[in-house]
Amino acid sequence: MDYKVLKQIFELVVSKCNRATRRTLKIPKELLIVDSTTITVGETRLPWAVYHGERYGVKLHVSCTPETGMPLKVMESTGLAHDGPLGEKGVFVLIQNDDLENADLIEMDLFSSKADIVNYLLLRYLLKMKEPVGSWVLQGMLEHKNVTVSTATIGRFLKSLDAKGYTELVGAQVRVITNRGVQYVNELSEKLRREKLQKRMMKAAQPQNPQELLDIMSARKVLECEMARLAAIRAKPANIKALEQTVEMHAMCLDNCDDSTAPALDFHGKVAEASNIRFLIASLDILMNEELKLEPRFLEVTRERAAEYALHHKLIADAIKNGDAVEEENQMRIHMDAIIAALEERVKTRSFFYQEK
C-alpha cells in the first residue's frame, strides 16, 4: 500500500480514538522551527514576484526540528509570504521563534501561580492555531515548555477560560480563542515584555566585577551630565531650594565631622529631579540604589573625598540656580570624572572589595 494512503488511514483512526486510547498510544508530538530568507532582484529577473517598489523577490522557508537542528523541509514563495501560514501546512506543530526565546515565566511577577502560567500559555497557543484544537494537542504544546498537566486538568482550565469569555467550545472537545481572549492575551504579552525588559535592566545595573562597575559609572557620567544640563533649563524654584538644602546639609556634616555620605548621594537624586524627566530620574534611581547595596568599602571613596565633592556640589547647584546649562554640564563632568578616577585608583591598587567570579 502507498505510504501516503497508509499514513492518512492511521491519522484518521487516531483522530477517532478517545482520550484514554490516545494516552496509551503515546504518540510523539514533533515540533518544527521555521525561518526564512528573502532574495531580491531587479524587475527583469523575476517580473512575477512583486516585492516592494522596484524590487522583486522570492522567499525560502526552511524548517528544522529542535532535536537535530538540521534542515528538514524547504518551501518557496513570493517575497511577501509569511512563515506562519506556510508552516501550518506541514505535519508538525508550528512553534514560532519568539516562543522559544520566552523568559522563564515562573520568575515573572505578573503570575502568582502555576494556574496563571498555564492559562496564559493555553491562550497563546490557541491564538497561534487557525483551527479549533483539543486538550491533548494543547498538552503536547505545554510539555514543550516543561509544563506537565494532564488533559483532564487542561479541560478544567479551558472551562474556566470559557466562563471568562476568553475561549469558546466548538463541537464536543475542541476550542477556539474569542476576540476578547485575543485582546486579553495580547495585553498580557505586552506586560510580560515590559517586565522582562525591566528585569534585564535591573540585572545589568548590578556590577559583578570592578571593570563592570567602571563601565556603569562611565554610562552614569553621560546620563548625569545630560540631566544636569536639563536641570539648568527646567529646574523649578522647589527643585533649586531642595538642591541648596542638600548642599547645606553636606557642609554641616563636614563641619561637625559627621558622615556626609547620605547627603552626598542624595544630591545626585535632587539634580535628576530638577531635570523633571521621569525616565532619567528612574534610570539614575536604579543605578544609585545598586550602589547603596554594595559593601561599605565602596562608600569609603565618597567619605575620603567628602570635602572635594562638597565643593563640586556647590558649583553644580550654583550653575543650576543661574540657569547656565553649559557651565552646569561642565561642572557635572568634572565631578563625575573625579569619582571615576578615584574608583580607578582603588582598582589599580587592588584596594577593592570585589572578587572576580
The pLDDT, as a whole number, for residue 241 is 94
pLDDT digits (tens, 9 = 90+) for 50-66: 777 777 777 777 777 66
Q: Which fold has domain 105-200?
A: Arc Repressor Mutant, subunit A (1.10.10)
Tell me whether domains 105-200 and 205-348 share a fold: no
Sign of CA dihedral 181, 184, 190, 194: negative
* Per-position DSSP letters for 179-201, written without gaps between them: HHHHHHHHHHHHHHHHHHHHHHH
The whole model's pTM is what? 0.52
Q: At what angle do helices 278-293 and 261-275 cross, to 10 degrees?
A: 160
In order along its 357 residues, the chain shows pLDDT tens digits of 666 676 667 666 655 555 555 555 555 555 667 777 777 777 667 676 677 777 777 777 777 766 555 666 667 677 676 666 655 554 444 444 444 334 467 667 778 888 888 888 899 888 887 678 888 888 877 877 778 888 889 989 999 999 999 999 887 778 889 999 999 988 888 888 888 877 777 777 777 777 777 888 888 898 899 999 999 999 999 999 999 999 999 888 888 888 887 888 889 989 999 999 888 888 888 777 666 555 455 567 777 788 888 899 999 999 999 999 999 999 999 999 998 888 888 777 755 544 444
Contact 320, 232 (CB under 8 A): yes
Secondary structure E strands in 143-253: 167-170, 174-177
Rounded to 10 degrees, the C-alpha dihedral 344/350/355/357 comes to 70
CA distance 153 to 243: 59
Instruction: Give dist(CA 64, CA 86) in Å, integer.
Output: 14
Q: Look at residue 7 in the predicted model and tell me its pLDDT.
A: 61
Cα–Cα distance for residue pair 10/4, rounded to 1 Å: 10
**Domain limits of the chain?**
3-100, 105-200, 205-348
205-348: CATH class: mainly alpha
> Is the Cβ–Cβ distance between 101 and 196 less than 8 Å?
no
Instruction: State the DSSP code for 242.
Output: H
Are the beta carbons of 183 and 166 closer than 8 angstroms? no
- Integer Cα distance of 80 and 53 in angstroms: 12
Question: For residue 169, what are the CA distances in angstroms to 79, 163, 335?
Answer: 37, 11, 66
Q: Which residues pair with 34 in a beta bridge?
A: 63
Taking phi first (over 0 means left), then psi (-120 to 50 degrees means alpha), and beta for anything else, what does residue 276 get?
A: left
